[in-house]
Amino acid sequence: MSKEKFSEIQQLFRRMSNEICVVVESYYIWRALTFARSIPEVGQERADKNAQLMGLYKDFFIPTEHSHLQVFIIGLMKFFDKNPSALSIRGLICQIQYNKEDLTVEDLKNAHPHLVGIDAVPKDYLPIKNETILFVDEIFEKYKELIPKLKDIRDKEFAHTDIRAYSGTFVPNEIEILIKDIQDIFNRLSNDFDLSATVFNHLKEDSINNAHFLLETLEKGEEQRREEIRKKYG
């Protein structure tokens, strides 16, 4: 029975890892597109070009930016969901703690036999450590003001629309730090549970590069289209 429970919790980790990836990609795509029109970020000339280009395809870019904004804010709030049946950070910890007496070092060895061969399985294995729980508590305390703000945005703008207009704001740099801390929490929990870690760093760079590449490709396409029109009509 413990083997099945160990596998079930591993699946919860995989699902949460996928959620983190979606949040990271959506946030950095949103940020790259939104700040592509920002003079302080890209300079006057580039900002003007991007604004003009995105204006040509506004029926694509406006809903795309809005969708990614919704996805990453709703996704972030999933990690802090207080519903006991939700796959949140607290929910994952509760699953591990509730079953910790049944989660043994033998389950870890069966799940990752290669660790046995390199003598990497700790003799004092615990599926979750007290210092990890304390670290999570510190992170939650750190964001005790930001999380309610993001929850208000989710509840009043995205989950449903209030009759009375609501316009919540956030500082992008705070979101980026929050995302990094969520990744750190995840890796601490997974390292305790089955000595694993997930590399998320490439998601930021790939998402930003892909968004910029899209704009560059559209710009080249517009130049080619104008050149074709000039050749055709003189």
pLDDT in tens, 165-195: 556 678 899 999 999 999 999 999 999 999 9
Q: Residue 14 has which token pair? A: 């995989």
Tell me, what's the pLDDT at 158? 79
Of 13-22, 40-49, 110-119, 200-209, give the lowest mean pLDDT range.
Answer: 110-119
Question: pLDDT tens across 185-234, in order?
Answer: 999 999 999 999 999 999 999 999 999 999 999 999 888 877 777 777 76
Q: How far apart are CA 129 and CA 193, in angstroms?
A: 9
Q: Does residue 30 or residue 113 have the better pLDDT?
A: 30
Q: How far apart are CA 45 and CA 35, in angstroms?
A: 14
Question: pLDDT tens across 64-100, in order?
Answer: 999 999 999 999 999 999 998 999 999 999 999 999 8
Q: Is the pLDDT of residue 135 over 60?
A: yes
Q: Residue 57 has which token pair? A: 């395809």
Tell me, what's the pLDDT at 123? 84
Number of domains in the chain: 1
3-state SS assignment for residue 85: coil
Q: Give the predicted TM-score (pTM) of the model.
A: 0.90
Q: Under 8 Å CB-to-CB from 122, ≥6 apart: which residues? A: 105
Tell me, what's the pLDDT at 165? 52
Q: Supply the mean pLDDT for the chain.
A: 90
> Residue 50's domain spans which residues?
2-233
Q: Residue 164 has which token pair? A: 């009375």
Helix or strand (DSSP H, E) at 179: helix 172-194
Q: Under 8 Å CB-to-CB from 208, ≥6 apart: which residues? A: 28, 29, 31, 32
Q: Residue 151 has which token pair? A: 């929850």
Answer for the pair 95, 12: CB distance below 8 angstroms, yes or no. Answer: yes
Question: Within a 13 Å sphere around the CA of 106, how many CA atoms are in the beta-carbon half?
Answer: 6
Tell me, what's the pLDDT at 167? 64
Which residue type, as a one-letter code, is found at position 106?
A: E
Phi-psi region of 199 (alpha: psi -120 to 50; beta: other; left: phi over 0): beta
Tell me, what's the pLDDT at 168? 66
Answer for the pair 5, 103: CB distance below 8 angstroms, yes or no. Answer: yes
